[in-house]
């Protein structure tokens, strides 16, 4: 059993922290909205803290799953940040999707204090978090990762170290790039089926068994056909992630024409009032266009 802290109890962090308790670890949680942290304690046990620093004091591992670069900096650094409460030898594991730049910045800051730092962004959505079946892609020192992997296993279907610090975040960008193109393709296929007067469910039943099949098709086609957009990762967050992808592409010289186009399609969805809709709502944009 390890002594752990978990910072950030959103739709992903809340169940992830619960899996850690279920594995027998002692967990202290922190959330910006204290009421949510208290509700988590009522549901899972453990304890809550008023600041990231207080949560991290004495912890062997500190896990975080917050919103963006600035949120991550705020829970790590400063007088009330987690780094201030961590002891040399402790490990910070970041599950947030952020830029590789901030990851490397915090990796260096952690190292200067004798702390380990692993960037470990996740994929699998809310269902993956609730079922303990997330894909976790990691960057950081091999020895530090080896220490963290058994802890991460509490909510991971697969966990792999891809390379040095920042490699996990770069891999998550690959994940988001792939998803963007697939969801747009699925949306166009369903839109075409509707316009052609075909039974969308029958179409999916057939094509999903061939080369067109995908996780998105299996898990999202039904709600897409019903026009329900409350079942997954929000458009606002996807645009944040795709912005990171496009910035990194400029730095590396990668060409991402489809990603750039789909990012603009998601901007159109935001204009429809769909910023909190899930990413499959690209179909709503096509339907709006006629």
Same domain, 151 and 220: no
Are residue 138 and residue 180 in the same domain, yes or no? no
Given this model, what pLDDT does residue 232 score?
79
pTM: 0.94
- 182 and 140 assigned to the same domain: no
Same-domain pairing of 157 and 188? no
Domain boundary among 132, 163, 194: 163
Give residue 1's pLDDT. 86
Q: Which residues are catalytic?
A: 172
Query: Is 97 in the same domain as 124?
Result: yes
CATH of residue 258's domain is: 1.10.1040.10
User: CB neighbours (10 Å) of residue 108?
Assistant: 11
- Please give the pLDDT value at position 97: 97
Last residue of a domain, one of 130, 163, 196: 163
The domain of 252 spans 170-289
Q: pLDDT for 247-269, tens place per residue?
A: 999 999 999 999 999 999 999 99
Q: What does the alpha-carbon distance between residue 137 and residue 120 come to, in Å, rounded to a whole number?
A: 5
**Closest among 107, 109, 108 to 117, alpha carbons compared:** 107
Q: Identify whether the C-beta of residue 197 lies closer than 8 Å to the C-beta of residue 139.
A: no
Residue % of the chain over a pLDDT of 90 = 97
Kindly state the average pLDDT of the residues 220-224.
97
As for how many domains the chain has, the answer is: 2
**111 and 18 assigned to the same domain:** yes
Are residue 44 and residue 159 in the same domain, yes or no?
yes
189 and 153 share a domain? no
Distance CA 136, CA 177 (A): 16
182-211 pLDDT tens trace: 999 999 999 999 999 999 999 999 999 999
Domain closes at, from 163, 198, 225 = 163
């Amino acid at each position: 059993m390890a002594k752990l802290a978990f910072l950030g109890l959103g739709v992903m962090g809340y169940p992830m922290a619960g899996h850690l308790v279920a594995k027998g670890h002692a967990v202290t949680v922190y959330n910006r909205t204290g009421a949510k942290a208290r509700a988590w304690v009522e549901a899972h046990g453990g304890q809550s803290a008023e600041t990231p620093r207080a949560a991290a004091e004495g912890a062997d591992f500190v896990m975080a799953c917050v919103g963006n670069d600035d949120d991550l900096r705020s829970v790590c650094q400063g007088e009330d940040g987690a780094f201030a409460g961590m002891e040399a030898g402790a490990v910070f594991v970041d599950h947030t999707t952020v830029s590789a730049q901030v990851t490397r910045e915090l990796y260096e800051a952690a190292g200067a204090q004798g702390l380990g730092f692993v960037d470990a962004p996740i994929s699998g959505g809310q269902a993956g978090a609730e079922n303990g079946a997330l894909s976790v892609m990691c960057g950081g020192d091999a020895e530090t990762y080896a220490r963290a992997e058994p802890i991460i296993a509490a909510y991971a279907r697969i966990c792999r170290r891809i390379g040095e610090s920042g490699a996990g975040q770069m891999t998550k960008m690959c994940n988001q790039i792939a998803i963007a193109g697939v969801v747009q393709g699925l949306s166009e296929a369903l839109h075409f089926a509707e316009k052609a007067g075909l039974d969308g469910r029958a179409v999916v039943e057939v094509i999903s068994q061939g080369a067109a099949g995908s996780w998105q098709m299996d898990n999202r086609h039904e709600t897409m056909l019903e026009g329900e957009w409350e079942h997954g990762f929000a458009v606002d967050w996807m645009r944040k992630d795709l912005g990171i992808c496009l910035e990194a592409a400029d730095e590396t010289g990668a060409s991402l024409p489809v990603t750039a186009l789909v990012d603009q399609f998601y901007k159109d969805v935001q204009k429809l009032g769909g910023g909190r809709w899930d990413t499959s709502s690209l179909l709503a944009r096509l339907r709006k266009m006629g």
